[in-house]
Amino acid sequence: MPSLFRTVLLTAAAALGGLGATAATAQSWQPTRNVEYIVPAGPGAALDTAARELKDLIDRMKLSPMPMLVSNKPGGAGMVAMGTLANHPGDGHMLMTLTHSSINNRLVGEVKLGYDDFTPLVTLFDEFITVAVRADSPIRDGRDLVERLRKDPSALSIGIATSIGNHIHVAIAKPLKVGGVDIAKLTVVPFKSSSESMTNLLGGHIDIVSASAINVVAQLKAGKIRVIAVAAAERLGGDLASIPTWREQGIDAVYGSSQGVLGAKGLTPAQVRYWEQTFKRATDTPQWASFLAKNHWKSHFLESAPTRKYLDEEAGSAKLVLGELGLFKP
């Protein structure tokens, strides 16, 4: 009997040991070949700059046993990049920049894929959209802009980059909607880039520009424009500290366009956890904080599950604005 009892105990211990080994295997994953980080924009763009900063940090800190390679795949409103990632289900070696375009572009029918066709891994930071006018413009501030457009929504031309219905468009439409403007009647002019829209503003061809904060700094410092509002919860720092938020001007509207990282569809919990921890360590550094400050971006780190919830909430908010703009396509 003691021998039988000992045999049972040994068998049970072996089984438990096997379960422990299986659990340990399930919880551990790391890259075994080169990691491809896909950027849906060309070299030198803001998306590219952020991806390469992350790559440099991960390489310098030796956070990955294998090299990370940045791959630029612009075009097709992000569809070229998303199509590449979609071809690698379950592959933890394929990553892509997550932006608000993965929400808006599908809502307006530009692309067939969106963030929920992939695995949201992390949210990293927010950029905020400003509203600028020429230095000699009669438009005094954000409140004055709202009042003018309430009287005649089509009276002023608004320049955006790069497409109707994108985050830059929504970022100005949302506060105007809150202020009582009929946003379906706005005169919105898309340009190929924010630099092109700014050139047209300075040339007197349009009245207003909606652009990310980093794209207004040079002309603001040169005294050629006034920035009358920013769609942030609080004022930005540095060169943009003088810009009032919409809330300060009585318009309760905040809109941040986030950047993060998407993985392929069907990643395992171990793969997700690896990238959550890797990006957390890379961004919890003075170098990353300095990089964000230089670009007037705000840290907004979320792991995978909170990122998915956040994106769902942002999609719901965008649907309302895009619906009033007449752009939402179910």
My answer on whether 121 and 132 are in the same domain is no
My answer on whether 40 and 105 are in the same domain is yes
My answer on whether 83 and 194 are in the same domain is no
Q: How confident is the model at residue 22 (pLDDT cuts 50, 70, 90)?
A: very low
Is 90 exceeded by the pLDDT of residue 94? yes
Is 70 exceeded by the pLDDT of residue 182? yes
Token pair 């830059």 in the structure block, residue: 168
Residue range 238-260: mean pLDDT, rounded: 95
Q: Is 143 part of any domain?
A: yes
Q: Is 5 part of any domain?
A: no
Q: How confident is the model at residue 281 (pLDDT cuts 50, 70, 90)?
A: very high
Is 90 exceeded by the pLDDT of residue 268? yes
Q: Is 281 part of any domain?
A: yes
My answer on whether 85 and 169 are in the same domain is no
My answer on whether 276 and 174 are in the same domain is no
Give the model's pLDDT for residue 6.
45
What confidence tens digit (pLDDT) does each residue in 226-248 have?
A: 999 999 999 998 999 999 999 99
Among 64, 74, 66, 67, which Cα is nearest to 39's?
74
Give CB contacts under 8 A, 24+ apart, made by 101-104.
101/40, 101/77, 101/166, 101/167, 102/78, 102/262, 102/311, 103/311, 103/314, 103/315, 103/318, 104/165, 104/166, 104/167, 104/170, 104/318, 104/322
Is 70 exceeded by the pLDDT of residue 127? yes
Give the model's pLDDT for residue 3.
47
Is 80 exceeded by the pLDDT of residue 7? no
Give the model's pLDDT for residue 77.
85
My answer on whether 133 and 118 are in the same domain is no
Following DSSP, what letter does each residue of 69-102 receive, concatenated?
EEEE---GGGHHHHHHHHTSTT-TTEEEEEETHH
Please give the structure tokens belonging to residue 303.
Answer: 């792991």
Structural domain total, the chain: 2
Q: Is 292 part of any domain?
A: yes
- H or E element at residue 271: helix 269-283
Q: Which of 8-22, 69-83, 130-144 has the lowest mean pLDDT?
A: 8-22
Half-sphere exposure of 234 (CA within 13 A, CB side): 2
pLDDT above 70 as % of the chain: 92
pTM of the model: 0.84
My answer on whether 151 and 237 are in the same domain is yes
For residue 282, the domain's CATH number is 3.40.190.150
Is 50 exceeded by the pLDDT of residue 21? no
Residue range 5-33: mean pLDDT, rounded: 53
Give the model's pLDDT for residue 45.
82
Residue pair 86/92 in contact by the 8 Å Cβ criterion: no
Among 303, 256, 264, which Cα is nearest to 127's?
256
Residue range 8-26: mean pLDDT, rounded: 41
What confidence tens digit (pLDDT) does each residue in 130-173 have?
A: 999 999 999 999 999 999 999 999 999 999 988 899 999 999 99
Rounded Cα gap, residues 313 and 307, in angstroms: 10
Give the model's pLDDT for residue 27.
56
Q: What is the mean pLDDT of the chain?
A: 91
My answer on whether 87 and 185 are in the same domain is no
Rounded Cα gap, residues 163 and 189, in angstroms: 9
Residue pair 31/65 in contact by the 8 Å Cβ criterion: yes
Give the model's pLDDT for residue 9.
42
Residue 45's domain spans which residues? 35-126+256-324
Give the model's pLDDT for residue 10.
42
Q: How confident is the model at residue 192 (pLDDT cuts 50, 70, 90)?
A: confident
Give the model's pLDDT for residue 44.
84
